[in-house]
Amino acid sequence: MTLSPIRKIFFGVADRRQMFRLFDRHAQRPNRWQNDDGALFAGEWFEIARPEHDYMLDILPPLWMRGEMFALGEFLTGSITSVFYTPRINGVDRYFHAYCDLARPGSPVEMRDAIIERERRPVKAMTREERIEHIWSATEDRYRGYADASFRPEHRGKRTVIVYGRHESSLALLDHLTDAQISEKLPVHLRHLPLAEAA
């Protein structure tokens, strides 16, 4: 599974429980730990509150601190680690977590700039990809998974979620959800946001 370089994976401010779930939202992936899964994580980001930001700053000594950002010294996989940000956006201090590939020296700054650009948009909108990523992030593990042998070979290992029909439920490929299914799975406050074109 290949994901886009930088992507917002959760809409709203994640509380501590949600934050820890989002740290490894790919925990059920097939063949976990057998591959370099850095591409699954690099570029993922979401918003947190100040208590969660400060908790992560206090839990371990940071690898480095630079202005409004710090990196954790514990790497998730390979050269991928958590970077926490405190940018001032539209006059308000906000807090974010992102996975950056420190093998790319400009990765933390590139991520910061992408977060600020995304969050400065005057009209709230979500791309189809952002809607799908939010659904994956917000769905409990028992209602999501990965395509197994019951799917065609070219789809095996892709992300799936349970969808509900009139009389029964079934697994559907996350990337193949219809607009109606996406709307049903989004929280009410996100269903009617305009669809933004991907930048």
The one-digit pLDDT tens for each residue of the chain (199 residues) are 445 489 999 988 999 999 999 998 887 877 765 666 777 788 999 999 999 999 999 988 898 999 899 998 888 877 889 999 999 998 899 999 999 999 988 999 999 999 999 998 756 778 889 889 989 899 888 888 888 888 888 888 888 998 887 778 888 899 999 888 888 888 777 766 666 654 4
Contact 127, 99 (CB under 8 A): no
Name the residue type at position 77. T
Number of domains forming the structure of the chain: 2
Which residues constitute the domain of residue 24? 7-119
Distance CA 98, CA 76 (A): 12
Same domain, yes or no: 173 and 139: yes
Verify that 156 and 113 share a domain, yes or no: no
b vs e for 108-144, b when ≥16 Cβ sit within 10 Å of the residue's Cβ? beebbebbbebeeeeeeebbeebbbbbbbbbbeeeeb
Helices 16-23 and 50-59, packing angle to 10 deg:
60
